[in-house]
Amino acid sequence: MTKRAEIPFRNIETAAGILPRSFYSRPAAEVARDLLGKILVHGRAAGRIVETEAYLGLDDRAAHASRGITPRTKVLFGPPGHAYVYFIYGMYECLNLVAEPKGTPGCVLIRALEPLAGLAAMRRRRPRARTNDELASGPGKLTLAMGITRRHNGADVTSGSLTVRSWPDDSRFEIDVSPRIGIRYCRDWPLRFFIAGNPCVSRHPVAGPPAS
């Protein structure tokens, strides 16, 4: 897989179309896989999604939605194509994208990005990153690098300043699958998807068979 150079933001803004709501109104595992290679944009910063995890809702004890509708989780039961941002470990914010039709909870955690545009701003926000590959190589790192916070909880990612876009000439890549990381329940469910060999992936455990 060839690593990209920084891309002028105007090129992304011009060439990469915003994903429609129908993209998200599908099973969370399908959305998680299909988000790989797409471009997450906030303001004038952008990164290619290289790692995701699916959370399946009421029957998935690792999912926040398994507790039912609460003030915190109500966005997960709403229309797809919205952001669910939560605070974890007293220090990190994590970005999820709501999937499944309205009323059926499910979401996709964005675990890692390959920085593409706005790298100077990302480096200011993540001064501890030693390389560009480390700027957004984890769910807490990427929200810091991209300037995404809990104020974006509930944001519609099909419009506005926080969106996901499809790069028209994206190259083919191999997808690897593994169990999700850092959870207590349903640890063996193969719902983590990542671009094989990409240096920005958060971790490289022994993977299962390729998904494509």
Q: Show the DSSP H helices in 16-151 as ranges.
A: 21-24, 28-34, 119-125, 139-146
Rounded to an integer, what distance in angstroms lies between the CA atom of residue 211 and that of residue 197? 14
pLDDT score at 170: 64
- Domain ranges across the chain: 11-169+186-195
Q: How many CB atoms lie within 10 A of CB 129?
A: 18
Asked if the model's pLDDT at residue 107 lies above 80, the reply is yes
pLDDT at 96: 98
| Residue 166: pLDDT band with limits 50, 70, 90 | very high
The answer to whether 55 and 28 are in contact (CB under 8 A) is yes
pTM, two decimals, is 0.92
Q: Give the homologous superfamily in CATH for domain 11-169+186-195.
A: Methylpurine-DNA glycosylase (MPG) (3.10.300.10)
Average pLDDT over residues 167-175: 81
Residue range 122-145: average pLDDT? 96
Higher pLDDT, 8 or 1: 8
Closest CA to 42 of 164, 167, 125: 164
